[in-house]
Amino acid sequence: MTGREAPAITVAGLRVQFGAVEAVSGVDLTVGAGQAVGLLGRNGAGKSTTMRVLAGVVPPTSGRVEVCGRDVRTEPIEVKRLVGYCPDVGGLVPRATPWEHLQLSARLRRLTDWEPQARDLLERFGLGDVAHRVTAGFSHGMSRRLSVVLAALHEPAVLLLDEPFDGVDPTGVEATMDVVDDARARGAAVLISTHLRDLAVQACSEVSVLRGGARVATVEAAAMAGEEGARAYRALLG
């Protein structure tokens, strides 16, 4: 299968073991080009670990994980090139400014003509005024916003957003929704892990629910909306 024919994200029978802890014990997931899928589940369900495997940060213990047809195990550099990843925590250098983060990211990815896109993203996320301030003093929401900006800079084929809405105010949420919509419009695949069910419904076409490291359901996002969706979600959480 060539990269062009493959789904943007393929996860089949993923297991991840950390010593005695089985963080992921059977996740299957497919995200096609132009699709956004939400990952829901309780704390410790395995959402971030699944994201980390897709980002090439954590190796799978077993299973098949591919990004645009590239195996995360055998083609990690190519996978990192294809993916834009907003981790759930960390990832920012306290002594560096947003602009320096963007410069570094652009250099590592050998991007050219990236500055207009970087300025546009910083403005959209309300970070224009702090572009040259070190991130050490950033609030949680500001750091989240910058992490989304960094994930989106190179217009990746696969956008992985882990808790992008956590502690983010409504304008930041709106900017993130725009980034997701833009990504889908240019044919990228988006995977969003969040505890905010309503925002997952808003951003995504499908939602997968993880429980105890395994996928228990994949449903149309609309099925998770409102009071009825809340009941359906609670039933899936067990």
Ligand X SMILES: Nc1ncnc2c1ncn2[C@@H]1O[C@H](COP(=O)(O)OP(=O)(O)OP(=O)(O)O)[C@@H](O)[C@H]1O
CB atoms within 10 A of CB 116: 8
Amino acid identity for residue 32 in this structure: G
Which of 169, 171, 233, 157 has its CA nearest to residue 201?
A: 233
Near ligand X by CB under 6 A: residue from 41, 84, 87, 156:
41
CA 170/CA 158 separation, integer angstroms: 24
Positions in 1-20 near ligand X (CB under 6 A):
18
Q: Is 44 in the site for ligand X (CB under 6 A)?
A: yes
Positions in 169-228 near ligand X (CB under 6 A):
none
| Number of residues in the chain | 238
- Judged by CB under 6 A, the stretch of 43-51, 70-78, 130-138, 176-184 that binds ligand X is 43-51
Partners of residue 38 on adjacent β-strands: 192, 207
Give burial (CB, 10 Å; 0-12/13-18/19+) of 2.
Answer: exposed
Near ligand X by CB under 6 A: residue from 30, 35, 48, 105:
48
Near ligand X by CB under 6 A: residue from 2, 43, 74, 112:
43
CB atoms within 10 A of CB 227: 7
Which of 51, 45, 5 has its CA nearest to residue 25?
A: 45
Near ligand X by CB under 6 A: residue from 12, 21, 136, 235:
21
CB of 89 to ligand X, least distance (A): 9
CB of 156 to ligand X, least distance (A): 21
**Distance of alpha carbon 111 from the chain centroid:** 21
Positions in 49-108 near ligand X (CB under 6 A):
49, 88
CB of 55 to ligand X, least distance (A): 12
Q: Is 23 in the site for ligand X (CB under 6 A)?
A: yes
- Judged by CB under 6 A, the stretch of 41-49, 66-74, 131-139, 165-173 that binds ligand X is 41-49
Residues near ligand X (CB under 6 A) are 18, 21, 23, 41, 43-49, 88
